[in-house]
Structure 1
């Protein structure tokens, strides 16, 4: 039982705390961002080192190290995005009369550099893990990437109760590309796909022939998929997931978010 409960608790706690930590760092005072960038860059470097160590070990702790290391790399990319350091070449609002094709093109240009950074990190982690054959770090990062891509397309298509207050004010122009007046078709496609993936992962966990190490890694990935489904549901249900990370959002950002919502 501990081989299941411990990984579930580990992933859930790390997902909650790391998301809050990145939000807290990105929402800090602008003049302090470069100091925070230095700290999170060192964390990212340790993440890559951890990926190398985990990929060459078959010890019981290696899936945990691989997961937290992949999350450290992911955290650097998320911080640089939320801090407005690595976003895209376009910084303007979405024109009110833009067609769907134009809105998609401009929306992509606002986050293009961020997307390319994610892809480069994905390839780099694959190269690290491919040499040893232990792919837990790559699977973790790839799953985070796929789930985030699904969330972005859902937001673009339509998510009526999206917690836009979690975005720093410096990225306010990106909110003009969100559709919050309906539930878009991408949401339903994402929910069905993620749910099928979740059921398939649970079915694999029920296989008695799976090794102990593989079981721990699969439990972690399954938990991550379950959390992704939960995040998608928060986008359309009458509840805000930002309450989970209220401690991570600065008072200044809360006031700006309230002022924006009131306009």
Structure 2
């Protein structure tokens, strides 16, 4: 079992640290966002190069490197979205009374360009690793995409824990597209699918015979375990966001107070209207 401990620890540490770092940067003044985006873009380009360079290698080190590259590629997607560089055509709160398919289309509009960017990035990663044995970076990106998309859908359909405190000030209008409710029909489906995939990958890790396979499958199984845990965090009576309390500074509530305008008041009013209507 000692062979599985290092990749499990590395996955947990890098996932936790990268998430906290993004939350911290999001909490800084918006004047710093251009620098953060430039830095993350540099890391993103480095990740593309690293994934291509290690795609033909099957050592334990190459598995770790590919994982780090996949994580950096995904981090760029989150930075570009949560800092407001690549979002969607809709930057307004959900209109009161909007429901059904119209509400779904409006919600898609808040992140349409972001989703397109993810698809383009995934296609680029597939092209860079096509026909090569080391696909750990690609699968890392795809697993993180699944985690993110499934969580967003569950928040849209409704969950007890919305984690709205993690949203930066300029994206607080997204809360109006969420619903606070005990359960939604998509939740058991998403949890079941994630659990089945986790078990299948874990089985691959337990029967792996090479260091590359042990490290690679263990990393992916750990990521999928985190996906299942994140789903349960949406409904469990736990304050899981305390894991990143070091990254969520006061800036998430007050960054750029000097830059706010009347649109912020409108967004707050819309959020309060949605809360009164029972959507959040």
Q: Is the 8 A contact 2:205 2:213 kept in 1?
A: no
- Displacement, 1:133? 3.5
1:77, 1:121 → 2: CA distance? 9
Q: Is the 8 A contact 2:164 2:172 kept in 1?
A: no
* Aligned match of 1:242: 241
Structure 2: give runs of 5+ residues left out of the alignment. Answer: 256-267, 276-280
* CA displacement, residues 35-76 of structure 1 (integer Å, 9 cap, x when unaligned): 111111111111111111211222220000000001111111
2:121, 2:41 → 1: CA distance? 14
Is 1:73 aligned to 2:73, yes or no?
A: yes
* CA displacement, residues 150-184 of structure 1 (integer Å, 9 cap, x when unaligned): 11111111111121100101001111000112311
* Aligned match of 2:216: 217
* Aligned match of 2:261: none
Q: Is the 8 A contact 1:162 1:240 kept in 2?
A: no
- Displacement, 1:212? 2.6
* Aligned match of 1:199: 199
Q: Is the 8 A contact 1:160 1:236 kept in 2?
A: yes
Q: Is the 8 A contact 2:28 2:251 kept in 1?
A: no
Structure with the higher fraction of residues in helix conformation: 1
TM-score, structure 2 as length reference: 0.88
Q: Is the 8 A contact 1:27 1:83 kept in 2?
A: no
TM-score, structure 1 as length reference: 0.93
* Aligned match of 2:17: 17
1:47-196 matched pairs, under 5 angstroms: 47-196=47-196
Runs of 4+ in 1 over 4 A off after TM superposition: 260-263
* Aligned match of 1:34: 34
Structure 1: give runs of 5+ residues left out of the alignment. Answer: none
1:252, 1:203 → 2: CA distance? 43
1:14, 1:80 → 2: CA distance? 19
Three-state SS of the structure 2 residue aligned to 1:247 is: coil
Q: How many residues align?
A: 260
Q: Is the 8 A contact 1:163 1:241 kept in 2?
A: no
Q: State the superposition RMSD in angstroms.
A: 1.9
Residues 200 and 58 (structure 1), Cα distance of their counterparts in 2 relative to 1, 3 Å cut: closer
Three-state SS of the structure 2 residue aligned to 1:140 is: helix
Q: Is the 8 A contact 2:27 2:250 kept in 1?
A: no
* CA displacement, residues 70-101 of structure 1 (integer Å, 9 cap, x when unaligned): 11111111011110111100111112211211
